[in-house]
């Protein structure tokens, strides 16, 4: 009887959690009320759907049309200035901003390098051994880890280039202030 009651309570908690999650994704299951065309200078950019009185357009198409820089980090889409505006913004950065950015990138770089070390020394060797024992079961995971390793190495190279650029900007600002 106790198992039944505890199972009932756990089931109710899981059901309540699922319904709370469904409320946070309010657009799912909503009816599309209309379709608008997004234009720039008379040329069609994309179609936007209307849901509950709000227009939803593809972010990539809008950013390309406006010249805005678009980056994706996890589940966050970041729209920045166009490349022309970014250059003038970078020139206006203060020494404190550049050093802060340098510290953030250095921290990210260290995390990526730790991840590479972990992949090379721990995860990939274990997956290689597992793939030898059960090739069908573990080869796909091994390939995924190798792909993650290559992506992380590419990100490290990009971060190192960013650090080099920031160091040059810091040096130029320090020389200009002397």
pLDDT digits (tens, 9 = 90+) for 83-128: 444 444 444 468 888 888 999 999 999 999 999 899 889 888 888 8
Report pLDDT for 10: 52
Quote the percentage of the chain above a pLDDT of 70. 78
User: Which residue did the predictor score with more confidence, 2 or 160?
Assistant: 160
Q: Is 31 helix (H, G, I), strand (E, B) or coil?
A: coil
164 pLDDT band, cuts 50/70/90, is: very high
Q: Is 93 helix (H, G, I), strand (E, B) or coil?
A: coil
Mean local confidence (pLDDT), 118-140: 84
CA pair distance 47, 39, nearest whole angstrom: 9
Report pLDDT for 50: 81
Report pLDDT for 19: 45
For residue 94, the 8-state DSSP code is: -
- Of the candidates 155, 170, 177, the residue with the CA atom closest to the CA atom of residue 71: 155
Kindly report the pTM of this predicted structure.
Answer: 0.45
Tokens representing 172 are 């130029």
Alpha helices in 92-134 (DSSP H): 95-118, 124-133
4 pLDDT band, cuts 50/70/90, is: low
How does 74-102 read in b/e, with b if 16+ C-beta sit within 10 Å?
Answer: eeeeeeeeeeeeeeeeeeeeeeeebeebb
CA pair distance 48, 72, nearest whole angstrom: 21
pLDDT of residue 155 exceeding 50 = yes
Which residues are CB-neighbours of 98 under 8 A, at least 6 positions away? 166, 169, 170, 173
Tokens representing 169 are 């900007």
The segment with the largest mean pLDDT, out of 20-29, 93-102, 130-139, is: 93-102
For the chain, domain boundaries: 34-82, 93-177
Q: What ranges make up the beta strands (E) of the chain? A: 34-40, 43-51, 54-56, 69-73, 76-80
Tokens representing 54 are 């709000």
Report pLDDT for 88: 40
User: Which residue did the predictor score with more confidence, 154 or 61?
Assistant: 154
């Amino acid at each position: 009887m106790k198992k039944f009651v505890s199972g009932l309570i756990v089931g109710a908690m899981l059901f309540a959690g699922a319904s709370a999650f469904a409320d946070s994704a309010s657009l799912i299951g909503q009816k599309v009320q209309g379709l608008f065309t997004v234009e720039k200078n008379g040329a069609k950019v994309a179609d936007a759907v209307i849901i509950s009185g709000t227009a939803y357009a593809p972010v990539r198409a809008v950013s390309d049309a406006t010249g805005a820089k678009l980056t994706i980090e996890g589940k966050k889409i970041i729209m920045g200035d166009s490349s022309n505006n970014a250059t003038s913004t970078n020139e206006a950065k203060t020494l404190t901003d550049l050093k802060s950015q340098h510290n953030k990138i250095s921290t990210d770089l260290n995390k990526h390098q730790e991840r590479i070390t972990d992949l090379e020394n721990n995860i990939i060797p274990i997956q290689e051994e597992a793939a030898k024992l059960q090739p069908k079961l573990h080869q796909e995971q091994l390939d995924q880890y190798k792909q993650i390793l290559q992506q992380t190495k590419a990100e490290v190279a990009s971060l190192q280039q960013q650090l080099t650029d920031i160091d040059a900007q810091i040096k130029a600002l320090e020389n200009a202030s002397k």
